[in-house]
């Protein structure tokens, strides 16, 4: 798998999260004091879902005053069935480990956004994005944390995907 394919996996994660209705609802939860409303919501969501590492969170509109968002990172790519030239019936499968850091300034809403994100990724099975077929996505682990100043809650989520390229 090339570096370009690894970048495409990040794009797949981004597109699944950005266009999933439940994730959009979680970002626009009326329980948050600054719900996005109908104007500007899509732009906000697009800027609130970012790859890691981010240089400066405070420079993005999604993180300015009341931080909430999702940062994703591809951690590992492991090939399976790489000797397919000897067996034409097997396709190359890659096991991709990736993580999400979901954060929100309201603890309850951080949990809702985390759940919506996991569900969006898990239900994307058997779909194709940018030529990458998702064979399966599995939730592995979750941890809770807070930033140093206790301004927002962070859910660190580890997932594993099986993909065909």
What is the pTM (predicted TM-score) of this model? 0.80
The boundaries of the domain holding residue 96 are 3-164
Q: What is the pLDDT of residues 48-86, one digit of tens each?
A: 888 887 655 555 555 566 778 899 999 998 887 666 555
* CA distance linking residue 155 with residue 39, whole number of Å: 28
Q: Structural domain tally of the chain? A: 1
CATH number at residue 116: 3.30.2000.30
* CA distance linking residue 104 with residue 92, whole number of Å: 38
Q: What is the pLDDT of residues 76-127, one digit of tens each?
A: 988 876 665 555 556 678 899 999 999 888 889 999 999 999 999 999 888 8
């Amino acid at each position: 798998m090339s570096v370009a394919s690894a970048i495409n996996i990040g794009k797949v994660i981004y597109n699944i999260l950005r266009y999933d209705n439940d994730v959009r609802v979680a970002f626009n939860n009326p329980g948050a004091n600054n719900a996005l409303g109908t104007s500007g919501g899509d732009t906000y969501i697009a800027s609130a879902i970012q790859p890691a590492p981010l240089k400066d969170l405070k420079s993005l509109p999604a993180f300015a005053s009341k931080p909430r968002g999702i940062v994703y990172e591809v951690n590992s790519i492991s090939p399976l069935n790489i000797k397919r030239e000897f067996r034409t019936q097997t396709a190359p499968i890659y096991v991709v480990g990736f993580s999400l850091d979901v954060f929100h300034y309201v603890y309850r809403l951080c949990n809702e956004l985390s759940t919506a994100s996991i569900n969006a990724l898990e239900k994307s099975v058997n779909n194709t994005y940018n030529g990458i077929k998702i064979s399966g996505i599995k939730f592995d682990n979750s941890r809770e944390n807070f930033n140093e100043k206790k301004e927002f809650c962070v859910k660190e989520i580890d997932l594993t995907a099986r993909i065909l390229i």
